[in-house]
Structure 1
């Protein structure tokens, strides 16, 4: 472990008690990040979080002539949608010769698609609706739009509920007229594809407008398990001759698009790694399955397709391709498809989100690094120069209080590698008492098919600057390390993830890095499941402990659990959303074959094993991990004498967005650790723990 930055005269003080300028309000103010960078002519557009405004997403614009970011729509406009509940690309635009750009976007409050002409006289009247409001179930939802002024339409994904149940839904590609004729008439929306597949991405038109490609998949697969690449002719505005040209049950394609010369580009993991492939235009459609890899490597050129419309590559007009790639992280490179040469972009940005936008020789993306928050970055491929152009990072406090990550690889059960990153306590004015090891919190990311990026996170700094370490674990099942690493979790959810988190905790304790008596576990969503599974890992009361199967028994002194999955017997079908309603098929096993396994692994059915304090945090509007799961768990724990607290937040869904919620949540979590680690401070409201 590297030595922390300590000023001369730093005062020894108990871990957890250190004074810090990183307060909860600062954490809340910096929560969220820019998303969905997109090109509209020469302009870059994106969305930004507004925690102080109820967590809405503001639509932003950057014009090259002045270089000043502009917020396009005032509150309460909220540019976001609920497709798959996680949302997809919420806007797109097209330049016009007169009147400025035409932009379409989805508004979160009513899920309608709107048109906006910000520079035209008509723009003074504000956005105009393009789609109707549905009275059925979750309504009509739209995402991943492509604006086609020459056709008078916007092509996008339509998610349409046919009943009140969350699984009564159909999805397809649709064409919405730009003249507003569908605003009150659902029948004016043209359906471009059938609903033969449960899930689809938006169609991408070839440069000559004669072909379209998109991805499709069906239950019980998730998109990182297997998808199909669809290719169709565009005939008179209709998609005809649809055929599957690549993909399958064990091949995951996550993005498809066109090169300027009409070649087909797509990202596939057919070799065990998401790599970029190309099929020549003269070989289509037959040769897509035999497309050649452009830069074959044991690296990822893609990631899990959690939201529709993500872009890990973007072709430039000169034939080069901007790509994201890496192992355990994604950095930006420029690929020459003719030679396979890949040149990485210089600068402090080591992690890029899947939101690449290109125009001419410029590439714009959203990037961050260990010492920089997420910002909008532009690369000029002619000069190789990259610079931040919007949402600029500015150190909110003295950088000496900010965390420094250390890569960590430990050995898990069976000799398998487990990847993590450690953030030791760091405060330039304080050091720990002589001979004392710091406490540490093991963070389990969500997904579970996800990854913890190595970027500056003020929520981590909130704890590390006070003397509490954090270790983020990319347990088996995480992305970034190839398909075999992802597949470790198949049938083993609640086992491998917990074992890997316990292995990291053990390595820190045995290596003299963390106090073995002051380790905690924390996670949200699927990470909340992992934290709760670790919490309930011990033997049942009155048994000899033979069924403590995942190695976490007695390892953790407490747990902080956010909007979790707690009951697999309920978290399927209609107790969650449709996108993940069959996720357990691969994570645990087909329900009909393993009902007892689902019950036995569920924390709600292992509540008698809970022996240490815990905190539950839950949004009351969460439809992905509904509050009923927490309520059942609390009922099972009640009366067992285990100190715990439950904080439920009205108006919050899956993940917290409002500043006041974020403040309360991080303060409550810190108070839990202070009480369990034997530390004290008077600047944080005390969390009441009741048995």
Structure 2
């Protein structure tokens, strides 16, 4: 007999996906790499105060978290971080270096021993930070990016390539750290050494550009004494983004560039596979890797429009053969050893897993962080990848997740509420993967639409550049166009539309609530709200001049900074909202929220403001994520007239 399908009001369907389940599965493995023949990676531990541990996969397939709490393998370089570890085999065992989050020192570690610091603590500003380490035991050094604060301000900082002695002699002596580059660029990535060790390549860029606007690819000669000489720019420029470079097995320079309008691969300056697809992406973290050269001359690549697939490129023919498997998306953390490739992939029915591809056989298999269904997959959301039409006929890419429950349906003639999700960045995109936060809503009868608004990555430089000078306009218009299209076609209830987002998505949410009448309510998470403050010392150095392209040069269009800011238009806000903020956020600090709320005082707009001690930009602790999700659902329940038994009622002020 078939199971009876109940008719229940949208938003009131009983769901096994509770907030604790969603929180426990937040985050993904990252920064995979080889230590000898073994694969290691970092992995989140939401239940352990949100730390990231280092996982070792032994030859027999068992996984071991090699560092106990409170060790937290994560760097704060450019605040978004980057590759925090490297490893090799020395004297028959692993030799690993890693950055510990609490003190940002670089440590040396071998199994059975305690981690030993290699770098000092700086008394100045926010200290010394390290990223993208490269182990050179034959030189007795680790080469990496050094971010050094020179004062107390967020932009009192310099970045260079540096060599740290492996013997620990720099643990208390900054002078023992050898600087490799001359500081000509404000931002640098870690060095990639040619197979013969005679050349080093790295990427540099300067304010006001972001790395997806324009970077320079530099190559220098490595002299016998380990100094870098004759550094020269070989690719890139103000309007050409090179996000990654490496060397082929025979010493040729391989890099991604968007000089054609798409991030494609080049070898010694010649295009390898010219396509209107992306073979690279936005460099938000130092050490992101979209390609990895193999010993035989092939290149493992992530490529595509929208969600990137894992493939193997033959540079001689330009042919790409994709790995078979259930994964719909791969993250930029490729590593290669011989003909083996390790990647992190996820599907619409599986979370992020560590995947190994044997390029000789073409076989891909899960080798770590294997997905296990936390609930019956019958409750998983089912995405529709769609293209909508926006103002002026422009295309808008989106992923639509209708309400979905194996045993429930909505009343005849009733349309479900929908929440529009605006992604962060804004130079980024939403991944096409299983997300139990989305399932938390869709399994209860609330639809979700994730919008890759103009400015998103994955669709070429022209699509990305749509947001130049138009942040707070194009993103808001595109989200509204998708919301209204869903209502017009009968998919969503026009009276029950909500908008939510974090970081830059929090900005888009707040801007949407203060400049449109599309939404009945919204959830604003660690947002940018006041451009005048955010761009003048209230944020970190990496993004401190991002607004020069997103809004326009401050010296030329100062009025735009106030005109676009949600804080300026707080008096227009009438829709109920939830505001969520980490108190230790250096990127979007709490002062932005406080200023916004002060402008609302006495206006009787129903709202709640919840802050979280110990949380920064992006919530990492399980208890934080549970409180945030339940509060969000309670907001929608109150505004949309839904009953949510078992979920604490959010107290709304105003």
Answer yes or no: same fold by TM over 0.5: yes
8 A contact 1:564–1:625 mirrored in 2: yes
* Aligned mate of 1:173, from 152, 158, 161: 161
Paired with 2:256 and 2:7, the residues of 1 have a C-alpha distance of 52
Is residue 2:526 matched to residue 1:563?
Answer: yes
1:151 corresponding residue in structure 2: 139
Note the 1:279-678 alignment, pairs <5 A: 279=268, 291-537=269-515, 553-678=516-641
1:217 corresponding residue in structure 2: 205
Give 1:7 shift.
6.2
Paired with 1:99 and 1:277, the residues of 2 have a C-alpha distance of 38
2:19 corresponding residue in structure 1: 24
8 A contact 1:11–1:431 mirrored in 2: yes
Paired with 2:559 and 2:266, the residues of 1 have a C-alpha distance of 43
Paired with 1:519 and 1:408, the residues of 2 have a C-alpha distance of 19
Give 1:595 shift.
1.3
Partner of 1:92, secondary structure, is: strand
1:49 corresponding residue in structure 2: 44
Residues 164-195 of structure 1: per-residue CA shift (max 9 Å, x gap):
00000000100000000000000000000011
Paired with 1:439 and 1:674, the residues of 2 have a C-alpha distance of 10
Partner of 1:580, secondary structure, is: coil
Note the 1:8-157 alignment, pairs <5 A: 8-63=3-58, 65-96=59-90, 98-118=91-111, 123-124=112-113, 126-157=114-145
Partner of 1:16, secondary structure, is: coil
Give 1:408 shift.
1.3
Paired with 2:3 and 2:69, the residues of 1 have a C-alpha distance of 48
Paired with 1:293 and 1:136, the residues of 2 have a C-alpha distance of 45
Cα RMSD (Å) of the superposition? Answer: 0.9
Paired with 2:481 and 2:281, the residues of 1 have a C-alpha distance of 25
Structure-2-length-normalised TM-score = 0.99
2:190 corresponding residue in structure 1: 202
* Aligned mate of 1:251, from 240, 256, 279: 240
Give 1:41 shift.
1.5
Paired with 1:417 and 1:378, the residues of 2 have a C-alpha distance of 36
* Aligned mate of 1:275, from 245, 264, 274: 264
Paired with 1:573 and 1:681, the residues of 2 have a C-alpha distance of 43
Partner of 1:176, secondary structure, is: strand
Residues 199-251 of structure 1: per-residue CA shift (max 9 Å, x gap):
00011110001101000000000000000000100012000001111100000
8 A contact 1:227–1:251 mirrored in 2: yes
Paired with 1:374 and 1:604, the residues of 2 have a C-alpha distance of 37
Paired with 2:22 and 2:556, the residues of 1 have a C-alpha distance of 45
Structure-1-length-normalised TM-score = 0.94
Structure 1, unpaired ranges of 5+: 1-5, 280-290, 538-552
Residues 255-310 of structure 1: per-residue CA shift (max 9 Å, x gap):
0000000010000000000001001xxxxxxxxxxx11111100000110000011
Give 1:99 shift.
3.7
Paired with 1:147 and 1:156, the residues of 2 have a C-alpha distance of 9
Paired with 2:247 and 2:89, the residues of 1 have a C-alpha distance of 20
Paired with 2:309 and 2:86, the residues of 1 have a C-alpha distance of 24
Give 1:573 shift.
3.1
- Please list every run of at least 4 consecutive aligned residues from structure 1 whose deviation after the TM superposition is greater than 4 angstroms: none
Partner of 1:559, secondary structure, is: strand
The 10-residue stretch of structure 1 (354-363 or 299-308) with the greater mean CA deviation from structure 2: 354-363
Residues 568-604 of structure 1: per-residue CA shift (max 9 Å, x gap):
0001131000000000000000111111111011000
Structure 2, unpaired ranges of 5+: none
Paired with 1:310 and 1:662, the residues of 2 have a C-alpha distance of 26
